[in-house]
Amino acid sequence: MPGVDSRPSRELYVVLVLLTAGSAVLGFIRETKIAQFFGAASSTDAYYAALAIPFGAAYFLVGGALSPPLTSSIAALLEKRNQEGARRLLSRMLRNVLLTGGLLALAIAAFARPVARILSPGFSEETLLMMARLLPILLAYGVLTSAALVGTAALTAAGAYRTPVVALFLGNLVSISLIAAFHGRLGIFSAAWGMTAGSVVTLAGVLAGLRNARLLGPAEESIPLVSFPWFEIGTLTVALAAAYGIDLAEKNFASSAAPGSVAILSWGGKLIHLPMRLIAAPLASVAFPRLVRGRTRADTGSNREAGETASWTIRILAYSAVVTAAAAAPIVAITFGHGRLDESSSKLLASVLMTLAPAVVALGIVEIASKYLLAAGRARQVAVAQLAALGVYIGAAAILRPLGAPGLAAARDAAWCTAAIGLAYPLVRHEKLPLFPEWRRTLIAVVAAAASSVAALSLAPGGPFVCATAAAAAAAASYFAILRHGRPVPPETAPADQGAKTSDRP
């Protein structure tokens, strides 16, 4: 198939991580620009509260519930050389998402004011009005992004891993450019218009990739439509609705806290998600369709490769969590400590970041384990884990709400860790995946890295960049020194099982 990477190579992992890193960094720069231009103010709270609906609907429900089964189905069809069937399935899913999403967006936009009041009852009338005006613009972003995620699922199934990342990179670049150009004239609305314009560019890039991969275009109506796993999608929708519910509940609780709390919690979440997006997400996106294809042809080597990929990733994320916790203050100073974000808001964000540090590992486990369970046909356990996380969050947030943003961050931390445990347990117990090899050695390495980074911070002279670099270097020296004799083999050099095909290994 022209234009796709059907056999991941060692170089593809490097290119994919670099492209994903560039895209994630640009998205993160967009958040820092919003903080720089508008600060932790009521208008920023209104923007992030309005963004919760379209962002969650796109990334939780479409990207999380629909895309993995779609990737699985298209990967299985392509493995059987049924490209016409894959094209027809994709065409139907794109049409359904655009039609359903468009109608829902119009309905929510028509009742934007009462919707805003339900989601964020603690906002003032002025902030609620601004949130209601932002909603229609951001709903368009949600619909376009949902369509792009459906296309991304098909490209991932076909092995075209680079195309979606490049499209998102260009979309984020356009988004930042518009915010920088128009923030003075449009205020916080420049962020909403920038997000929508970026989604247009991303969708255009994905559609171009689909056409190049011969997955876009008219399909033969005589080709029977493949049986789609609707039960699995329904189960995943319950799971991701629970995860989405945590996000909405946080906005509800934070709307009654001090002005700027919604924005600060959002920025803390962006910082915590960054290692997962840089490391876990790209590797999981490659491993998932390969697991599906491996099961289709009864290839046991893909299962071992998946476990080694996960264990290698989790250890990298554990190091990231240590540095995040130890160097929270200098990290915030580097990323958000400029512009209109004042000193008290920076200190509050650093406290939120330190609280959320364990979630760096939890989010990586959630990203990887949920896809692995889907490949194993265990969607029900994904739903159970996410529902448990929602229950933990609501209970913890109700108790910790008087503490403000740090208390709500602790509740979110508890929810993410609950989901990670619930997802990892069946993989280790039933699927026999080595997610935590040498866990005692890893725990010792984490403690040593934490002590080293704290000591380096106390001794490092200079500004926040020097302090953060010293903490990261000291943590790396002790962490990887302890792990070097027990470090899992990176996925690209992992040995295959006897029944695995050598040509299918990266």
Measure Cα distances from 48 to 244, 265, 266, 428 in Å: 14, 10, 7, 37
Measure Cα distances from 41 to 187, 315, 355 in Å: 12, 37, 22
Q: Is 255 exposed, middle or buried (0-12, 13-18, 19+ CB in 10 A)?
A: buried
What's the whole-model pTM score? Answer: 0.78
State the pLDDT at residue 494.
40
Measure Cα distances from 5 to 122, 330, 437 in Å: 50, 40, 31
The one-digit pLDDT tens for each residue of the chain (506 residues) are 433 444 455 566 667 667 777 788 888 899 999 998 999 889 999 999 999 999 988 988 888 778 878 887 888 888 788 888 888 889 888 999 999 999 999 999 999 999 999 999 999 999 999 999 999 999 999 999 999 999 999 998 888 878 888 899 999 999 999 999 999 999 999 999 999 999 999 999 999 999 998 888 765 555 555 566 667 777 878 887 888 889 889 999 999 888 889 999 999 998 998 888 777 777 666 666 666 555 555 555 566 666 777 788 888 899 999 999 999 999 999 988 777 788 888 999 999 999 999 999 999 888 888 878 877 777 788 889 999 999 999 999 999 999 999 999 999 999 999 999 999 888 887 766 767 777 788 889 999 999 999 999 888 877 888 999 999 999 999 998 998 865 444 444 344 443 333 333 33
CA dihedral 20→25→322→279, nearest 10 degrees, is 0
Place of tokens 């891993």: 161
State the pLDDT at residue 288.
63
Q: Provide the 3-class DSSP secondary structure of residue 505.
A: coil
Residue 119's nearest CA partner among 61, 59, 191, 50 is 50
State the pLDDT at residue 10.
57
* Type and span of the H or E element at 319: helix 301-326
Measure Cα distances from 213 to 62, 86, 159 in Å: 22, 11, 10
- Alpha-helix residue ranges (DSSP H) falling in 159-280: 162-186, 189-212, 230-254, 261-275
Largest Cα span, the chain = 72
Spatial distance between the Cα atoms of 228 and 341, rounded to a whole number of angstroms: 48
State the pLDDT at residue 20.
73
State the pLDDT at residue 426.
85
State the pLDDT at residue 340.
79
Could you state, in order of their start, the residue ranges of all structural domains in the chain?
Answer: 8-228, 236-426
State the pLDDT at residue 293.
59
Spatial distance between the Cα atoms of 374 and 451, rounded to a whole number of angstroms: 38
Which residues fall within 8 angstroms of residue 109, CB to CB, at 6 or more apart? 135, 136, 139
Beta carbons of 397 and 253 less than 8 angstroms apart:
yes
Amino acid making up residue 28: F
